[in-house]
Every structure is written in C-alpha cells, then in structure tokens.
Amino acid sequence: MSGYGSSDNDTYVTRPTTASSLAETPMQERHMDEEDLKLNALLEDYDLETTVEEVDETDSLEVFAELLFSGEHLKSIFHDTSSLLSFTAFLSEHRPRSLPILVYYLDTIKALRAFRYANAIAEGLGSIPGLDFTSTPAKSDPNPLIETKAQQSFNLLLQEDLPAYVTHMYVQVAKSSMIKRVTMGTITSTQGEPEGLAEVFCLTEPTRPDNPIVFVSEAFHQLTQYGVNKTIGRNCRFLQGPKTNAASVRRLRRAVEAGSEHCEVILN
C-alpha cells in the first residue's frame, strides 16, 4: 500500500508493505448521498481557472513553487552561512553521495574568484616610464573550463538535492504539526504549519494495474474539489499539472516500483 497526500504544493509519501491481503483491498465505495449529488452537480460546471481578471503573481502558488526550486534559491542558500550549514548537514545525513559534489562546486567557485582577483590585478598593472616590458598590458584569462565544471556541478545539486532538501524541510514542519495535534489536541496553526495537512490524503493500491486510488479522505475532497466518483479507481497522475516537475514524478515512480519510502513536494 502506498500513501499519497495532495494539495497545491504538498508532500507525497509512499510506504512499502509486505501484507499479502492488500491485493484484495476493496476500493472505497462510491455511495453518494443527497449532499454528494449536489456537490457533483456543482463540480460539473466547476472551472479550475480563476475568474479574477487581474491576479497578483507574487501571491501565486505556482510562482512561489518556481522560486522555491529555482537556481536563485539555491544560490541564496550558498550565500547565507547558516543556510549553507543546514544544507550541508542535510546532505551529510541523508544524501552523503552528493556531499562531494557540493564540495567540488564550492571549490570551483573559489577557483573562479581567485582567477577573477588575479585578472583584476593583472589588468590594473600600470606601465613604468623607461621600462618597455611594463608597457604591454596583461591579458585576462576567463578560464571557461572551470566555469563549465562549476555550472555542471551546480545543475546536479539543483535538479536532485535542492528538491530533496526542500521536501525534507516541509516534512519536518508537517511532522511537527501532526505531533502537536496528536499530543496536544486541536491547536491554532502557526505560520508555516498548514492547517489540516494531516487530514488531506489518499491511498493507492500498487498491486493492482496502474496503482489506482482506493480511498480518499473527506479533507482531500474539500481541498481538491474532486468527488469520490472522480478519484476512486484512477491513478494519482491526474492530479499533475503543466508545471509539475517531471524529475519529481520520475523519482516517485522509481520509489513505487521499488516499494520504498519516498517523499516529494510537487506542484499539482
């Protein structure tokens, strides 16, 4: 059985199991009462596109997600000492194979800075009257090979390690929120702790063809606006959107096929 939590930008989780009875797990019944019929009638005309003529993109979740997984965000982590230490500690504990890539990238950046410093001094050398050898200006060396190596190592960290780091931070927030709800009862959600996160989920059955959804929570319906008849029996891929990260989907697919636990933050 694999669990799948969904929101506009939520954490997805798959968990392995060895239970032999799951192949017979029945799907959630599509029993619809009067309220469900009313909801389905409304959903028939439900338009996911906003009707607001002007939308401030700074408040758009899509824009936020793009920034969250962007190169600019990764650069900001490298430029802030505490953030870099946190990122390095995460790699050391959870992705040790990526740690040499981080060190390599940082060393190439140091080398490029050294070259730029040396070039700046060389270009600033003035001539000395009476000494002909000082009259020839020094040529700067941009060293494109090191620049290429730096960019390639940066791209690796951006594609694989930044998403893992962001997901890890979100999981910690979600875990903290869930623990407080279980141990302290209903509490007021603080900034950074999404309200109702623990209640938004669906369950799939990976032993069945195409890994269909077999159960969805009530909060899932309320958040996504998809009723039971729109979700049960379908693969979770219908929740993907045009800006869903293909690399994240690929990592999830590998985890499901391997039957291993995995977390991703995905923009639907």
More confident residue, 267 or 192: 267
Nearest Cα to 11, choosing from 267, 265, 268?
265
For the ranges 37-41, 112-116, 122-126, the lowest mean pLDDT is seen at 37-41
Query: Mean pLDDT, the chain, as a whole number?
Result: 77
The winner for highest mean pLDDT among 24-28, 49-53, 56-60, 206-210 is 206-210
pLDDT value for 21: 40
Say yes or no to pLDDT of 62 above 60. Answer: yes
Which residue from 153, 158, 170, 171 is spatially nearest to 74, judged by alpha carbons? 158
Q: Is the pLDDT of residue 45 over 80?
A: no
Contact between 163 and 265 under an 8 Å Cβ cutoff? The reply is yes
What is the residue type of 33?
A: D
Query: Of all helices (H) and strands (E), which one includes residue 122?
Result: helix 99-123
Query: What pLDDT does residue 34 have?
Result: 59
> Whole-prediction pTM value?
0.63
Token digits of residue 218:
């009530």
Go through the chain and tell me how many residues it has. Answer: 268
Judge whether residue 58 has pLDDT over 60: no
Within 13 A of 79's CA, how many CA atoms are on the CB side?
A: 6
Nearest to 226 by CA among 62, 10, 7: 7
Residue 214 is given by DSSP the state E
Amino acid at 170: Y
Q: Say whether pLDDT at 32 is over 60.
A: no
pLDDT of 162 over the 70 cut: yes
Q: How far apart are CA 152 and CA 105, in angstroms?
A: 9
Phi, psi of 48 (to 5 degrees): -75, -15
Q: Give the chain's radius of gyration (CA, Å).
A: 26
pLDDT for 51: 38
Burial 197-230 (b: 16+ CB within 10 A, else e): bbebbbbbbbeeeebbbbbbbebbbebbebbbeb
